[in-house]
Structure 1
């Protein structure tokens, strides 16, 4: 990117969020961008920014909060030391070999611990030899979490861990968190990528070079604002299913193409079968996309539902005759080009049929709350990145249809007024510049800037975020009424040591980062309340006085009640919070 275009990005991006928060109840906004006056808090603008594929421990595993705060991470548990080396309790995170040769098991038998971890794979990482052991890492890594940046810089591309639905259930292994490496080895031969983490504290790399710490922007935001150390991806699995939960609080399912939401049966090759193929140890029979999770006789289903029963959860949220999505699929109304294309359905189309579940967008529209969903790389996006941003490579632009979930919903795509609210990142910058940002904004960065391992880095995601935040804070009026929530779509298959609450068949999954950037965010606060992606929807609903999305969406779950001795595990589960505990509305930040 040229200096001039970068300056424009920063000016407009900052103004974007600024404009979002600046519209007070007395301001006059253009039609379609009205900001409702009545909110339960002083927050008038919510901006939700979703990067990709980092667990909480992967980024915040060594974070040390301000005095008076506590945190649950690798360092606090003694699993690693401040310099990233193994700690006194390193064995708490050791990985075991598993055995599954008959029918799929979510918690498998163990055949012993790894003596050392296998080298991580490069997978398809940019600039790396493809799908070979990554020779930057030693062949004898200790059996437990290791610091990636001792061998490959924080700004470097790495491999991408496996993180599909059934594999994640196995890696978590009933809460023991001890089969991440075995799942990688048996499913895709990826070695031990999943056990890597970054270190926010000073350290020396393998060559003896000193480093002041990784993820400096994330650390600075955590020091200044509020974070959660108990926020989770809503669904076990990858990007597509978690973006569905982010807008619907529910799971997508296979339908016919009549746009009436009638459940249908997928093509056979689209049915997932995680039972081991004959003669293998955990090599799945078929990697499909849908499961009939109300049917205990279907492959893999009984094992997951048994996990729920062991945790006292009887509600699977699986309707009979429905085949639910558990992995990535394209949206029916594709937006790769400037004119949406309807993708056909066939045995090899890899397309999610039209969805009729209600979404938070439907609820907001019905109650006059302005909203937009901005996706980087959409076909009509006027913002074109050059080969670098401040010297950091941005090698490609690609539109992520999975990350633009509302393009799969008939209530949006069959209504021109609603479809018009699905816009590009360039439109987001324009709205910032013109003061027309809506009450609720979802922002999906360009793929190259999401932090996704393999084709992005945490460093690039941090730069994208800082551009937004700087611009918001440059307008005192806007900053005075905005909350920016920063998170990822899922943990990416990376190891995490935190508690996971069973809510239903679909999850929750591992912890992921959540940062609340706002003048009302508690300064340097670490919130232990139990949350997941749907908590973002609960915040919107509570702030604007909205009803829940549906009778089966997760926003119907109560807020957690927990004991002071263990604030992480709700006593009244299943339960997820509404994020209000991250804020103090009587003690706003002065300035930034």
Structure 2
């Protein structure tokens, strides 16, 4: 891997200025003139703008930043607590002395009880309350909760306070948060790698818009189909699948329709919903055009009943969660590439061989999660991998929880760190939406909308002249603030980035690193904030931090002896 010399501040400023004039990406600008090999600006000899040759995006479900980080890095460490389900002792958490100050948490904002403006005060959830009620996270409901940016109507518009057996609920549940005694693994990754306290959903709303914004930066371009797969020529305005359809029936996704190019959409659950297909391009199309290997790997994607002539596949495998509930693994509306004809694997075909993984073939880059384990420690690990846990481990309230999620994330990251590809890998942990959980920060509206689906927050922005990208309605954003972490030998250590970013910033990082170009058509990638400040591309760390897969504590810190750089310490910039 090439070494990069640290430039002078004058040289960095000149490079940034040159990039701004030339329209070069911010990521490439960070390496302009910094010892990179000749050729494309910032490009390494292996065709990437940075030393990162593998990006792994672990895309989880339904968490706001304050829900996991309200009191970071201070945990209650209450004696006698145990983890729901296992009954093992909850871990204590003590922050490193050099943990950054000024993190935009609920505690640092002075908005813990009794000082919160919402009608019910925030309260800590214990490890014994891991499985909770699901909250209302609709596009319009979230805007109403924002109350034009005052952030004080969450109890009225997103809180769901009672639910099923073994699921915790209370009045004003939306206000509640976990600390390092429950989300111990996430807090330890933040302590040892880089996190953001200023990362948002690209738009408001639930899972499908978040997944589409990750891979395309675009929720407009959807066409509606019946549950049987027949085109719906003129969908009703405001229908479940399509908002604000034009004369051709093409509109915007604000809810969670299942993908039409997926056998399992209406063959793996009791409901029979209308279906959706996306037009336009996604990052898979861009990577294919450049010959870059990639794949989406999702729990439960392997069918339990294969497709046969005239009979679609079904996907009904399941696992238990911390509450003892049986949960189906596969969720079709969490799989964004299945909405696009170009990147779908409708019958859930397995790759013909491990050599196909990441490349063109019958699986068309869509795989069961287990396929990633076949390639992570090989030369065939894809350059870009998107990982989606089975539903019991994806973190979504009601059917998943932070303890089951922690088991998945730590096991996955440990596996990557132990692989031969770790020294050139960046793992990004991100979320598809907030679930409606309270967060005290509202980003300034960057993309407006003014329809019946929009509340005062977005309508006021439209009236004030905030543009509506592409003229496409119902893409108001940024949406709620969410956790974002980067785990890599090039990630800054115990670092908190304040750069504003959103889900499409991950898309932009991939585009810039592999020089794919952008999606176009008013995709959010064009204006998404950079993730570059979470990295130090001029220093490869030698420390390896492995976590306990049961409780998230630090299991081992080793040194690989592969660290390269300019003598700067692992922490800071």
TM-score (norm 2): 0.67
- Kept in 2: contact 1:334–1:341 (CA 8 A): no
1:354 aligns with 2:277: yes
The separation in 1 between residues aligned to 2:410 and 2:442, in whole angstroms, is 30
Give 1:547 deviation, angstroms. Answer: 0.7
The reply on whether 1:499 has 2:442 as its aligned counterpart is: yes
Say whether 1:526 aligns with 2:496.
yes
Task: Please list the CA deviations of residues 339-372 of structure 1 after superposition, one character each: whole Å capped at 9, or x if unmatched.
Answer: x9899xxxx9523333221101111111111110
Using the TM superposition, give the Cα deviation of residue 436 of structure 1 relative to its aligned residue in structure 2, in angstroms. 2.0
* Contact 2:319–2:329 (8 Å) recurs in 1: no
Aligned-partner Cα distance in 2 for 1:434–1:359: 27
Q: Is the 8 A contact 1:184 1:192 kept in 2?
A: no
Matched-pair contact (CA < 8 Å) for 2:376–2:416:
no
How far apart, CA to CA, are the structure 2 residues paired with 1:396 and 1:418? Answer: 28
Q: Secondary structure at the match of 1:147?
A: coil
Q: CA deviation at 1:264?
A: 7.0
Deviation at 1:589, TM superposition (A): 1.8
Corresponding position of 2:505:
535
Listed as ranges, the matches of 1:363-378 within 5 Å are 363-378=286-301
Judge conservation of contact 2:344–2:366 (CA < 8 Å) in 1.
no
Q: CA RMSD in A?
A: 3.4
Residue 461 (structure 1) aligns with: 405
Q: Which residue of 2 aligns with 1:38?
A: 47
Equivalent position of 1:236 in the other structure: 204
CA contact (8 A) 2:195 2:497 kept: yes
Write the mapping of 1:274-353 to structure 2, written as runs, cut at 5 A: 288-292=240-244, 322-336=250-264, 349-353=272-276
Q: 1:38 to 1:341 in 2, by over 3 A?
A: farther
Q: Give the aligned partner of residue 545 of structure 1.
A: 515
User: 104, 119, 123: which one pairs with 1:146?
Assistant: 123
Partner of 1:590: 542
1:457-496 alignment, distance < 5 Å: 457-475=401-419, 477-496=420-439
SS at match of 1:323: strand
Structure 2 CA distance, aligned partners of 1:293 and 1:232? 26
Superposed CA deviations along residues 143-186 of structure 1, whole A, max 9, x for unmatched, are: 2211122xx725x3110110101101101111111111111469
Determine if the alignment matches structure 1 residue 170 to structure 2 residue 193: no
Listed one character per residue, the Cα deviations across residues 83-133 of structure 1 (whole Å, up to 9, x for unaligned) are xxx2xxx43x322xxxxxxxxxxxxxxxxxx4xxxxxxxxxxxxxxxxxxx
- Separation (CA, whole Å) in 1 of partners of 2:280 and 2:344: 13
> Displacement of 1:219 after TM fit?
0.9
Equivalent of 2:334 in 403, 411, 418: 403
Q: Is the 8 A contact 1:147 1:197 kept in 2?
A: yes
From the superposition, tell whether residues 436 and 380 of structure 1 become closer, same or farther in structure 2 (CA, over 3 Å): farther
Using a 3 Å threshold, how does the CA distance of structure 1 residues 481 and 172 change in structure 2: closer, same or farther?
same
1:396 counterpart SS class: strand
1:99 equivalent in structure 2: none
Report the CA distance between 1:250 and its aligned residue. 0.4
Q: Residues of 2 paired with 1:517 and 1:478: CA distance?
A: 13
1:38-117 superposed matches below 5 A: 38-64=47-73, 66-80=98-112, 86=113, 90-91=114-115, 93-95=116-118, 114=119
State the partner residue of 2:364.
420
Counterpart-to-counterpart distance in 2, 1:349 and 1:36? 51
* Count of residue pairs brought into register by the alignment: 418
- Unpaired runs of 5+ residues, structure 2, are 1-43, 74-94, 164-168, 226-230, 306-314, 347-359, 450-474, 545-573
Aligned to 1:255: 223
Q: Which runs of 5+ in 1 are unaligned?
A: 1-34, 81-85, 96-113, 115-142, 201-212, 258-262, 273-286, 295-318, 558-575
The answer on whether the counterparts of 2:235 and 2:242 sit within 8 Å (CA) in structure 1 is: no
TM-score between the two structures when normalised by the length of structure 1: 0.65
What is the CA-CA distance between 1:418 and the residue it aligns to? 7.5
Q: Secondary structure at the match of 1:519?
A: coil
Query: Partners in 2 of 1:482 and 1:394 — Cα distance?
Result: 35
Q: Counterpart in 2 of 1:159?
A: 133
Distance in structure 2 (CA, Å) of the matches to 1:186 and 1:585: 44
